[in-house]
Amino acid sequence: MVADYWNRVRLLQKLILIVILFLIVPVLIIGYYLFSSSLLLAQRESREMLEKVSYQLNENIEYRIIGYQNILMQLSLDSGITTTLTQQYQSLQEEVTGLQQINSAVNRIRSYFPMKTIQFYKSNASLHEDGGTVLNLEKAEQEVWYAPMEDKTRQFYWYYEWKNDHSEPSLHISKWLVDYLSNERFGLIHVEVTNRALFDQITNPLTAKKGGFLVLDAKGKVLSNYMDRRDGGDIGELPYLEKIYESEHGWYSAKINGLQSMVVYDTNRLGWKIVTIVGQEELWKRLQLVKNAAITVSVLFVLLTFSVLAGFGLRTTKRLNSLIRSMRRVRDGDMGLTIKVHGKDELADLEVEFNNMSSRLEHSLSEISEARSRTETEKLNLLQAQINPHFLYNTLALVKSMAMDVGSSEIGSTVDALARFFRLALNRGVDMLTFREELEHVKAYLDIHESRYPGRLTAVFDIEEETLSCNIVKITLQPIVENALLHAFVRTGGRGCLTVTSRLLGDMLCVTVADNGSGMTKEQLDSLTKHANSGTDRQGFGIYNVNERLRRHYGQACRLRIQSAPGEGTTVQLLIPQNAGQVAPTG
Kindly report, residue by residue over 166-194, the tens digit of the pLDDT: 556 788 999 999 988 888 889 999 999 88
> Of residues 231 and 362, which shows the higher confidence score?
362
Residue 584's pLDDT is 39
> Of residues 574 and 419, which shows the higher confidence score?
574
Residue 587's pLDDT is 36
SS3 111: coil
Stretch among 5-14, 38-47, 139-148, 483-492 having the lowest mean pLDDT:
5-14
| Count of Cβ atoms closer than 10 Å to residue 424 Cβ | 21
Residue 131's pLDDT is 81
Mean pLDDT to the nearest integer, 197-212? 79
Residue 234's pLDDT is 75
Residues in the chain: 587
Q: How confident is the model at residue 510 (pLDDT cuts 50, 70, 90)?
A: very high
DSSP code for 7:
H
Mean pLDDT to the nearest integer, 553-560? 88
Q: What H or E segment, with its residue span, contains residue 256?
A: strand 250-256
267-298 pLDDT tens trace: 988 888 899 988 877 666 666 777 777 788 87
How many angstroms separate the Cα of 503 from the Cα of each of 71, 433, 514, 547?
Answer: 109, 17, 14, 20
Estimate to the nearest angstrom the gap between the alpha carbon of 181 and the chain centroid: 69
DSSP code for 527:
H
Q: How confident is the model at residue 533 (pLDDT cuts 50, 70, 90)?
A: low
400-452 pLDDT tens trace: 555 665 666 666 667 666 666 666 555 555 678 899 999 998 988 888 888 88
Distance CA 220, CA 244 (A): 10
Q: Which residues contact 473 (CB under 8 A, 6 or more apart)?
A: 431, 432, 433, 549, 550, 553
SS3 167: coil
Estimate to the nearest angstrom the gap between the alpha carbon of 206 and the chain centroid: 47
Distance CA 191, CA 415 (A): 141
Residue 469's pLDDT is 92
DSSP code for 221:
B
Mean pLDDT to the nearest integer, 305-323? 76
Q: How confident is the model at residue 108 (pLDDT cuts 50, 70, 90)?
A: confident
DSSP code for 234:
B
